[in-house]
Amino acid sequence: MEKQAKIFVAGHRGMVGGAIVNRLSELGYENLIVRTRQELNLLDQHSVEQFFLKEKPDYVFMAAAKVGGIMANNTFRADFLYENVTLTTNVIHSAYEAGCKKLLFLGSSCIYPKFAAQPIQEDSLLTGELEPTNEPYALAKIMGIKLCETYRDQYGCDFISVMPTNLYGKGDNYNLKTSHVLPALIRKFHEARAEGKPQVELWGSGSPKREFLNAQDLADACIYIMNNYSDRARVNVGVGEDLSIKELAEMVRDIVGYEGNIVWDISKPDGTPRKVLDVKRLHAMGWKNKIGLREGIQMTYEDFLENIDSYSI
């Protein structure tokens, strides 16, 4: 990407989009285009088309999405499918119509089958059934991947897609009804310590294993891939290592400084038993994550403390 190129980051107010904007600025990209939801509703096809035809961005980072944890995904199933399919279709098609040089679509590791062989290779897509609790979101992301592939096949568009693992970091969502596991743990242990609670109840058995990548690392990877990769094949983005939710909970408890007990509610769903990505393709390109998990959680908790009044909790 040329330093003066027009770059549109869709979803810049989200954790990932915000990290991409910050990293682009750090690297000297000055011509960044961003719009709030009030300024540009990505669910409105006409508005998106007019925006692209007027602004004609050279490059697009498609980081906008309706996201949430198990509870949100399983409760608002129609919303997750409709909104993500609609905004993804609008942005990708409008980028094509406006002659965009290159687009990077951010998928999700939940696109892979629930019982995919571990670590999960990119070719595992559509080889088995999805995890039921987040199937609508996964289907929408799969459609985005296929749009990138088919627009490349039919129109020659340089549209690429990346599949990040579980993310966390600055600007995360701490609302317990919609958050992912790591920010939920931070909030629960923080409040339990502040209120002197003797125990914290957590969902499931604690046995599922997950991989976690800091959003700052993901942003750096996305920009690296945008500058160094042009192919139909999708790229996994992760660290290639995982740990159990129980181990994660104990790490967060230690960082927050909570000394009470953890009680596991096994009546609640665990979700996919294990999910760690095969990142050999990414490593072969020359990129690896820089932020360790404990260091990243410590940074995230410090950000939470500094901005607790502004975060949605």
Q: Indicate which residues carry an active-site annotation.
A: 137
CA dist 296 and 45 (Å) reads 38
Residue 93 annotated in ligand binding: no
Neighbours of 40 (CB within 10 A): 18
**How are beta strands 235-237 and 102-106 bridged, if at all?**
unpaired
Residue 16 annotated in ligand binding: yes
Q: One-letter amino acid identity for 91?
A: V
Residue 46 annotated in ligand binding: no
- Residue in 290, 55, 45, 35 with CA at minimum distance from that of residue 169: 290
Residue 198 annotated in ligand binding: no
Residue 188 annotated in ligand binding: yes
Residue 243 annotated in ligand binding: no
Residue 13 annotated in ligand binding: yes
| Contacts of residue 147, Cβ cutoff 8 Å, sequence gap at least 6 | 88, 89, 92, 93, 105, 159
Residue 15 annotated in ligand binding: yes
**CB of 263 closer than 8 Å to CB of 203:** no
Residue 167 annotated in ligand binding: yes
Residue 283 annotated in ligand binding: no
Distances (CA, A) of 273 to 88, 268, 305: 29, 14, 32
| Exposure of 165 in the CB half-sphere (CA atoms within 13 A) | 28
DSSP state of 278: -
Residue 201 pairs with which residues in a beta bridge? 263
CA dist 202 and 181 (Å) reads 10
Residue 136 annotated in ligand binding: no
Three-state DSSP class for 61?
Answer: strand
Residue 177 annotated in ligand binding: no
Residue 165 annotated in ligand binding: yes
Residue 119 annotated in ligand binding: no
CA dist 236 and 221 (Å) reads 10
Binding site feature residues for NADP(+)? 11-17, 106-109, 141, 164-167, 180
**Residues that constitute the known binding site:** 11-17, 106-109, 141, 164-167, 180, 188, 203, 210, 270
Q: Please enumerate, by residue number, every residue annotated as part of a binding site for substrate.
A: 188, 203, 210, 270
